[in-house]
Amino acid sequence: MRGAGRILFKKGEGLFNRTQEDEKQFLEEIKAKLSVELKHMSGRVSRYAQDVREQKQYMWDSKGDMDHVEKISARESADQTMRSGEVALDAKRRIEKLLQSPYFGRFDFRRDDDSFEEMPVYVGIHSFSDRENRRSVIFDWRAPICAMFYDFELGHARYRSPSGEVHGDITLKRQFRIRRGQMEFMLESGLNIMDDVLQEELSRTSDERMKNIVATIQRDQNAIIRNEDAEVLIIQGVAGSGKTSIALHRIAFLLYRFKETLSSKDVLIISPNKVFADFISNVLPELGEEQITELEMESLANELLGRRYKFQTHLEQSSMLLEGRDPNLGRRIRAKASTEFLGKLEEYVKHVEASRFCPVDLPVRDHAVPATILDVAYRKRPDLPLTQRLRWVAECAEHEAWVQWRVELTAKERAALKAAVRKMGRNAALKTLYREFYVWLGQPELFKAVRGRLEYCDVFPLIYLKLRLDREDGAYRHIKHLVVDEMQDYTPVQYAVLARLFPCNKTILGDVNQSLNAWAASTAETISELLRHCECVKLYKSYRSSYEITQFAQSISPSADLVAIERHGPKPRVLACRDESQEHDLVVQMISHFRKQDFQTMAIICKTQEGAHRLFKSIRKKGEDAHLLTARSTAFESGVVVCSVHLAKGLEFDRVLVPDASEKSYQSALDRNLLYVACTRAMHDLVLTHTGARTPFIGDEAPYEGDTQL
């Protein structure tokens, strides 16, 4: 059958679209239907736009003749029309996207109850219903029935529908690549149909931003994405396991599953920096969802402290640590990055609470409210900030005077009573209280200001003290889901702050082996102890890098659990240079070589920001162009970028060059982590250069080639 009849599945017809030619014809029919729908939606958008213009013109022309009620009604009508127009515009954009690639998979499902024969289910990024036949033609990948595409091969299968679990058999399974409306290939298999597609996708060069993975989601990834029950889901995954992408797809799924109660405005991502936020910014819009708000920890700190305190950035503190400018900095960071420290800080909060209110008998005309009454009143409201709490005590004292002696205070007496109660409170400055914490702890040397600024390791302990004492933690109560990336880089105190600010469901992801501060690393187990109702899942398969690069990274930081996907490429190279000048010449030569290849992105990843800046200047001086990533960078750039390991975290590049991989630069346990993170950013090609002895973390078995071979 051709035309509309082929889109409707009819019982008794046999296999629907038997051959690839049938599928290509079906694709053309779907595109024709989509084109009709696009024309319809374009008309609706135009009509809504015209209606809005006319309504605004009417309000302008009639503003002198309408009363207040009429104006409100006209504005509400215009707003409703605009909202309807936005819905229509979103639908139009989805149709435009479907026209480029309507679907990527198909499976035929026969239910056990035999109420249907094989039902063909075409899986796409968005759903589409044939308006003429009133039937779903393409199913959204997040729909319950589509879970079977990821979870089962041919044979028995099941899915959870709103009415209960449905059982049956998958009798056919296909995967397509459709680009710009053209079918590039069709694969049909009863085994792991997605393996070939996955291999081909992984072998492609990187893009400017992270891509969606809906066509290649694996079974274990699908289970995480569709987990709708976990209050706190911790994803511990090896480098390149797709943690961030999975977390974003999970958010897309939850927005689809709970569309009535959850919107993109209710979700917040805590990300390591703005470059990373830009790198991942394309995923949710590709999946048809609005972009969600992203916030860095430092920006959050500034908001919570009212921008009254200056402090180091995390990058500045890390640079100081790596450059060894303060031999005691590591000790201070380590001391403030433990659960024991959080416990001591909580003890201090109770100490301050007990000592910041000193009640005395309060005169009220010819009587006195006993200090014990005031103390009881104070202790009854530990949930209030100090100022409100003292006001509460004053109200209790006034009430006591009326109950005991029938004394009704005048306005002047009431003001005097409140002033007297306020004097009983010790409202010391937050920074003073924080500094005194270390005196109380018996370790005043653990607090040190840097040119009048707080050290970064002091910022969140200070915030925790503020939240506990002032109880001003309601600014983010509207957030219903929090995503925390690079979980290993946040301390127990930071998690305690997040727990108070965001009493909502969370997705937390990271890898302790990629911590850039070994003394402040949080594991999944540590986080589970700090947050309640946690569920932890682990991902061991690495997809980003070629097998050779993954094995090389394993020699630096071995993980017995890691499984490298067997996508092969050139072996990593370690190139020796005579001196720094020759090393910089080699870097420039590699950049020139990169521009002649099909690669899209190349990163030159230095150990420190200072080293990145110095090398960048040398590259520019030698006539090559590159982008330098700094703490102020806001966008992920294609082409050649120079950056530190800290700013490369979470990113991926076709080619990675790690300069100065020498024994002098990489020698400590922290250095090992840095080198591992740098190397695991590479997808297809990895080169390391060094002068003098190379770092012992590479090992003698690593490939070693001359300094002229690229």
Q: Which residues contact 684 (CB under 8 A, 6 or more apart)?
A: 203, 205, 546, 549, 569, 570, 599, 654, 655
Nearest to 121 by CA among 102, 99, 136: 136
- The rounded distance, in Å, linking the Cα atoms of 412 and 314 is 51
Kindly state the percentage of the chain with pLDDT values over 90: 63
Q: What number of other Cβ atoms are within 10 A of residue 350's Cβ?
A: 11
Q: For residues 317 and 2, what is the distance between their CA atoms, to the nearest angstrom?
A: 67
Supply the pLDDT for residue 604: 97
Confidence class for position 514, pLDDT limits 50, 70, 90 = confident
User: What is the value of pTM for the model shown?
Assistant: 0.88
Residue 430 structure tokens: 């937050």
* CB 406 within 8 Å of CB 367: no
Dmax (CA) of the chain = 101
Is 2 in a helix, a strand, or coil?
Answer: coil
pLDDT band at 379 (very low <50, low <70, confident <90, very high): confident
pLDDT class for 710, splitting at 50, 70, 90? very low
Is the pLDDT confidence value at 205 over 80? no
**Which pLDDT band holds residue 503 (cuts at 50, 70, 90)?**
very high
Which amino acid makes up residue 517?
Answer: N
644, two tokens:
């530190």
Listed as own residue / partner, the contacts of 412-419 with beta carbons closer than 8 Å and 24 or more positions apart are 413/364, 413/365, 417/362, 417/364, 418/390, 418/391, 418/394
The per-residue pLDDT for 342 is 96
CB contact at 8 A, 75 and 59: yes
The answer to whether residues 121 and 108 touch, using CB atoms and an 8 Å cutoff, is: yes
Q: Mean pLDDT, the chain, as a whole number?
A: 89
Cα angle 630, 603, 217 (rounded to 5 degrees) comes to 105
pLDDT at residue 13, rounded to an integer:
46
> Which run of H or of E encompasses 573?
strand 573-577
Q: Is the pLDDT of residue 544 over 70?
A: yes
Find all residues with CB under 8 Å of 419, minimum gap 6, and list them.
none
Token pair of 376 as six digits: 């009881």
Question: In this predicted structure, what is the pLDDT of residue 135?
Answer: 85
